[in-house]
Chain A
Amino acid sequence: MTEAADNSTFGIQCDDLSLWYGSFQALYNVSTQIKPGIISGLIGPSGCGKTTLLRCCNRMNERLGNVRTQGRVLVGGKNIYDADVSLIELRKSVGMVFQRPNPLPLSISANILFGLQLHDGRRLSRSQQAEIVESALTEVMLWDDVKDRLKMKATGLQLEQQQKLCIARLLPLKPAVLLMDEPCSALDAEGTEAIEELLTNLRGRYTILIVTHNMGQASRISDECLFMLNGLLVEHGPTSQVFLKPRDKRTEEYVEGRYG
């Protein structure tokens, strides 16, 4: 997983992926391929394993002691569960946005620079830092809102701005993949719209896998859709096909049930 020439070529491939929390099996033999450079939506009822699958892709599940994973997850062709994979490198190239915005209790610019300063031994000059902060914030359409208060604590921002910041702080690390776990569930309608607009802006430059239980959102922003139920990946296809001509009976019921 070296410096990617074209980041968007990193897809995610799951091979026969199963996961247990203690003795409870949360994922059953999930196999699929997330195409690079597009937005894939992950839908399904609450508790079906969406968050779990997402967290397999940057090995965040391992923070919990009692998790056992079986199978392979390939990011950019490399199995991230191999023994020689560095978690640090993995998390640099696979960024994650959480359900509740969780900016660090530091200033706005410190949040943006946090990732770089973890990894880069050399110090960045003032002007380099300013440049990085500006470009990251511009990319998430937050620059104009906060450019006068970059030294302010990030935890004091509005939720929508916090979530944008949480996306922005991933960008200086030049990730290939962005994992998002219901990034709008803590936001109001306006905030949701803003994040969706931002996602559309990022489309094509990153491989994005986004969990949502808002069907409208999935149909609006995703190119492909994955439907999960009880730890099984039931269906994966182009969004229009999943919503309009689902192949599986269970997908159909879920999609219609939520519409009706």
Chain B
Amino acid sequence: MASTATSSLTVPAGSARAAHRLAGVRGVWWRRFWLLREWAMVGLIKLCGISSILFVTAIFLFILCEGLPFLRMGHGIHEFFATSDWYPTSQNPTFGILSLMVGTGAVTILAMLFAVPFGLATAVLISEFCSRRVRETLKIVVELLAAVPSVVWGFIGLKMLGPVIVRFTGADTGVNALNAGLIVGLMSVPIVVSIGEDALRAVPDTFREAAEALGATRWQMVRKVLFPAARSGLLAAALLGVGRAIGETMAVLMCTGQSIAMPIDGAFPYLHPLSSVGTMTATIASELGEVEAGGLHYRALFLLGSVLFLMTFIVNLTADLIVRGIRGKK
């Protein structure tokens, strides 16, 4: 460590030369200080690198610790997960999150019905069917879509889409699962497009050439070669869209109508998009500010948060593993 020979091996050559020259002028202590500083910088960088892991773990543990005591406060696991009445402020409060999970599920499904076909079609268009200039323009437009703040999306849903829905469906209210689904779908399109496009780009060009040399049209090539070859990447794109939809809060808070309802039943079409719903995210956002810290309602919201965290974590992790699997294989 102290000898110049070692230090020139462990630090970049240019800096080592500088250190050496300085050492001649300022002596050995200066050089020690210089190396120490180097070591400290590397340490700091490593710390920043792993801090994200620490943060995620710490946040999850914190939420869980705040939430778990709920189960020892007279409202069991069964009530929490298997009943649908979320009335935390009534005389006899009940904390069933089933309706909230179903609400989140309904919004997510509607959003994906819209975002997956639309997003994947855009991805195919961008990666296969357009010239370079059109491609770059489209990508910028899609990125702009991602840059719209979610409160603005909420505003659009509330004030513009809502009345349109009422006009065309005759629904009682324009704020409902369909409204939130469409808005969240639009919000999820950019991520579906960008991951989907990556997946299509990852398919080697030789496959395209092979298909086209056999006389396939562009569309036949996309359908019969690209889709099967990029299947897992496209799945990952859809999953990341799902993750985005589950976690969205502000727009959903503004567009769903926030009512405790089960928009499903056993008969076709099973899901009622025109019913107002409440979601997990919006419930936490709207209620947490008014609860007493450490109380029953507070704990219930944190437990709800833990469930939400786990759901998005699993969805994103799955998508990430799929994407990594593809990169690894290449």
Contacts and interface: CB of A to CB of B under 8 A. Distances in A.
Interface of A: 58, 60, 63, 65, 87-92, 95-96, 98, 100, 102-106, 114-115, 118-119, 166, 169-170, 173
Contact of A102 (B210, B215, B220): B210
A91 B215 contact: yes
B45 interface: no
Interface of B: 131-132, 204, 206-217, 220, 224-225, 228-229
B214 A106 contact: no
Q: Is the interface of B mostly helix, strand, loop or mixed?
A: helix
A54 B229 CA distance: 27
B228 A114 contact: no
B229 A105 contact: yes
B71 to A, nearest CB: 49
Given A88-B215, A92-B215, A98 B220 contact: no
Contact of B132 (A65, A95, A106, A166): A65
B210 A103 contact: yes
A96 B220 contact: no
B132 A60 contact: no
Contacts of B214: 91-92, 95, 114-115, 118, 169-170, 173
Contact of B213 (A58, A100, A119): A58
Nearest to A115: B214
A118 B131 CA distance: 25
B227 to A, nearest CB: 11
B330 to A, nearest CB: 13
Given A65-B132, A88-B215, A100-B206, 15 more contacts: A58-B213, A60-B209, A87-B215, A91-B215, A98-B209, A98-B210, A102-B206, A103-B210, A104-B210, A105-B225, A105-B229, A115-B214, A118-B214, A166-B210, A173-B214
Contacts of A173: 214-215
A20 to B, nearest CB: 18
Contacts of B208: 63
Contacts of A92: 214-215
A100 B207 CA distance: 11
A65 B131 contact: yes
B174 to A, nearest CB: 46
12 contacts: A60-B209, A65-B131, A87-B215, A98-B213, A102-B204, A104-B210, A105-B228, A106-B228, A114-B211, A118-B216, A118-B220, A169-B214
Contact of A91 (B212, B225, B228): B212
Contacts of A100: 206
B211 A104 contact: yes
A119 B215 contact: yes
Given A105-B229, A106-B228, A114-B224, A63 B209 contact: yes
Given A106-B228, A114-B224, A63 B210 contact: no
A92 B214 CA distance: 6
Contacts of B210: 98, 102-104, 166
B67 to A, nearest CB: 46
Contacts of A58: 213
B229 A118 contact: no
Contact of A104 (B132, B207, B215, B217): B207
A63 B206 contact: no
Contacts of A65: 131-132
B217 A88 contact: yes
A98 B206 contact: yes
Contacts of A104: 207, 210-211, 225, 229
Given A65-B132, A105-B228, A105-B229, A118 B212 contact: no
Nearest to A95: B213
Contacts of A105: 207, 225, 228-229
